[in-house]
Structure 1
Amino acid sequence: MTTPANRASRHTPNRRGEGDRLRRDLIAAANKLLAQGVSHEKLSLRAVAREVGIAATSVYLHFPDKMSLLLAVYQEHFEVLARHLEEAVAEHAAPADQLRAIAHAYCRFAGEHPDAYQVMFNVPGSTTRPPRAIGEEERPGLPAVRIVQRVISACVDAGIARITDPWTATLCLWGALHGVLSLRTARPTAPWPPVEDLIDAIVATHLTTPAARQ
């Protein structure tokens, strides 16, 4: 029978690549616990270590604190989201069409990666002060936010944006899209219109001119 001690020995970083594998295992274990509904507050390095099958002290070989591990989890998910958004933008030249494409790409990401979306946007965050300040460039979601801001800035420059502050518009768009996705999940039997129509309606509220349908 495999015991925790035996599993821990397999994770001892004594071979080339073993340390990287353990780091990936720790990120995957933390992500699994978060996807199961564990909040930032209740997630512990001890629980993550137990999920992997190693001694709790081994976690510190890769992550000095829980915040570092959480940032690593979110970094992986937001890199995928940012790639989806960039690919959507690249398919269109007009800012209005780019904004519509971004909104649809965001919602497709949620549908194609439901566990990741749950972790990224639905797991309760910490209400206590983090052990250290998180620099702006450390924030995993920043590249994705900047993509949306860039497109909205282009809409502002083109004179077609109803909200002329790109940051405010980005938050409003994000909140509206997330709200629709969350409501459809929470109340699936409600008489919802097709999600594509809802997305188009949200984008339309941000523009003075309609975006073209794909």
Structure 2
Amino acid sequence: MDTTSAEQGRARGRNPRGQGERLREDIIAAALRLLEELADDQALSLRAVARDIGIAATSVYIHFADRDALVLAALKRCHDDLMHDVDRAEATSADPVAQLRARTLLHGEWAHRHPGLYKVLHESTLNQRTGMPFKSELGDRTTAMIQRCMDAGLAPAGDAAAVSLDLRAAVHGSVSMRVNQPDLSWPPLDEQVDRFLTKLVGVTLPPPALSP
């Protein structure tokens, strides 16, 4: 083992209070950058993460037992950031239909901006090997929003969970195809989302604003 690397690893192991947590955050941020680029959790290596932030590979193992543990932590951070953006999008209106549209559209736009992370979050082999319970929050909150639309008489009464599943399947299908087949002639995402909302949820959307 390289002596300098070993010394760096030991030094990292004796971080003053608070610095260890900062290093953990740096490791997660580096993993997110690399996962976005690679679009494949299996292609990520802990050594590559360590190189990205200039530390010894042994320092990564202080915080994460293996690659899967690091990828899960990175995806949890990614999900939390997405939910924060959803909260901000919903806060722009008090109307349940507008909130449902905002959150649905934001999810599609996020995937368009982060295709690599989207693939790892939803299409990676990690999904087959381990659970990601944090992912259920997005679905649960979509179901709750659809129920609000139904309770307010803004959508036909029905099984909100079933409608939510249909809507999420449609959106994920569209997003996945856009990510994996970007050269197809795609309609604007907002127009497609509006069709999903009117046909699957049954809400009535206001007409688009006319350009000045």
**TM-score, normalized by the shorter chain, greater than 0.5:** yes
Look up the SS of the partner of 2:200 in the other structure: coil
Equivalence for 1:191: 185
Q: Distance in 2 between matches of 1:191 and 1:59?
A: 43
SS at match of 1:100: helix
Flag the 1:187–1:118 CA change in 2: closer, same or farther, 3 A: closer
Task: Supply the distance in 2 between the matched residues of 1:175 and 1:163 (Cα, whole angstroms).
Answer: 20
Give the structure 1 partner of residue 205 of structure 2.
211
TM-score, length-scaled by structure 2: 0.75
How many residues get paired?
Answer: 202
1:141 maps to 2:135: yes
The answer to whether the Cα contact below 8 Å between 1:152 and 1:166 also exists between their aligned partners in 2 is: yes
Compute the displacement of 1:76 (Å).
1.1
1:180 — aligned with what?
174
Taking the aligned partners of 2:162 and 2:66, their CA distance within structure 1 comes to 32
What percentage of residue pairs aligned between the two structures are identical?
30
Q: Does 1:201 align with 2:203?
A: no
Offset at residue 2 of structure 1 (A): 10
Deviation per CA, 1:133-170: give whole Å up to 9, x if none: x6xxx832243333212211112223444583333322
Question: Quick one: distance in 1 between partners of 2:11 and 2:116?
Answer: 28
> How much is the aligned-residue C-alpha RMSD, in angstroms?
3.2
CA contact (8 A) 1:5 1:54 kept: yes
Distance 2:63 2:176 in 1: 34
Q: Is contact 2:151-2:157 (8 Å) kept? A: no
Deviation per CA, 1:49-103: give whole Å up to 9, x if none.
56314354x4453345655433321221111111222222222233222221221
Going from structure 1 to structure 2, the CA distance change for 1:2 and 1:145 (only over 3 Å counts) comes to farther
Distance of 2:3 and 2:66 partners within structure 1: 28
- Deviation of 1:32 after TM superposition, in Å, equals 4.4
Where does structure 1 lack aligned partners over 5 or more consecutive residues? none
Tell me the distance in 1 between the aligned counterparts of 2:166 and 2:30.
33
Contact persistence 1:161–1:207 (CA under 8 A): yes
Residue equivalent to 1:80: 81
Partner of 1:51: 49
Which of the pair is proportionally richer in helix? 2
Q: What residue in structure 2 maps to residue 150 of structure 1?
A: 144
TM-score normalised per structure 1: 0.74
Match in the other structure for 2:93:
92
